[in-house]
Amino acid sequence: MGKLIVTEFLTLDGVAQAPGEPDEDREGGFNHGGWQMPLLDEKSGAVMFQQASSMGALLLGRKTYDIFAGYWPKAPADIPFTGLLNGVPKYVASRTLAEPLTWTNSSLVKGDLAERVTEMNGRHGEVHVIGSLDLVQSLLRLGLVDRLNLWVYPVVLGTGKRLFGEGTVPSALRLTESVTHAHGTLQLTYEPAGAPAYGDTAA
């Protein structure tokens, strides 16, 4: 059986909104778009591509699909991600979009999400999710996430969409890798580890 792998870029206070460009996602009056860019470096970029290079398919929520579909088909060919993301099959979880989708090799997820993800994993080996915060919450609630690749940057914004927002299902995670990159960026890899354990200081 394949794996579903989520990759997110986060501030220290958990904000994952619009890391790439000022106008990427201004929903909610967010005016910190592009916060990740000054903190990128060549080595961490190479690791990100290495993590992504094993993807057999890409699963996206509607908003992230719109952002990606507006950029990657026209992105410079010398960016390693350009060929990768344009080439892999892309699945979009959306109730508002209609086929045909504009980005090559893209199709809508129809029917039960858990069943479709299980089918994708069996067909593609590794299905990756990038951004797509609402979709990730659904995948976590359904217990479908096999790995979290989290890139945590030393910046605090205080506002914006968070990866683990309201409605997150309580769960324990097992840290399997931790690397510090330039600028103090943390590369953290987690796998699900069941329900949280609780203690009592008075015991």
User: Which pLDDT belongs to residue 113?
Assistant: 96
User: Which pLDDT belongs to residue 60?
Assistant: 98
pLDDT digits (tens, 9 = 90+) for 124-178: 999 999 999 999 999 999 999 999 999 999 999 999 999 998 889 999 999 999 9
Q: Percent helix, strand and coil across the chain, each rounded to 5? A: 30, 25, 45
- Asked whether residue 52 carries a pLDDT value surpassing 80, the answer given is yes
pLDDT digits (tens, 9 = 90+) for 2-44: 999 999 999 999 999 999 999 999 999 999 999 999 999 999 9
pLDDT digits (tens, 9 = 90+) for 100-116: 999 999 999 999 999 99
User: Which pLDDT belongs to residue 1?
Assistant: 74
User: Which pLDDT belongs to residue 167?
Assistant: 85
Global pTM value: 0.95
Spell out where the chain has E strands.
Answer: 3-11, 57-61, 90-93, 106-108, 126-130, 147-153, 173-180, 186-192
Which of 4, 189, 16 lies closest to 91, judged by CA? Answer: 4
Specify the amino acid at residue 148.
L
- Asked whether residue 94 carries a pLDDT value surpassing 80, the answer given is yes
In residues, how long is the chain?
203
Mean pLDDT on 33-57 = 97
Contact indicator for 5, 149 with CB cutoff of 8 Å: yes
Contact indicator for 184, 154 with CB cutoff of 8 Å: yes
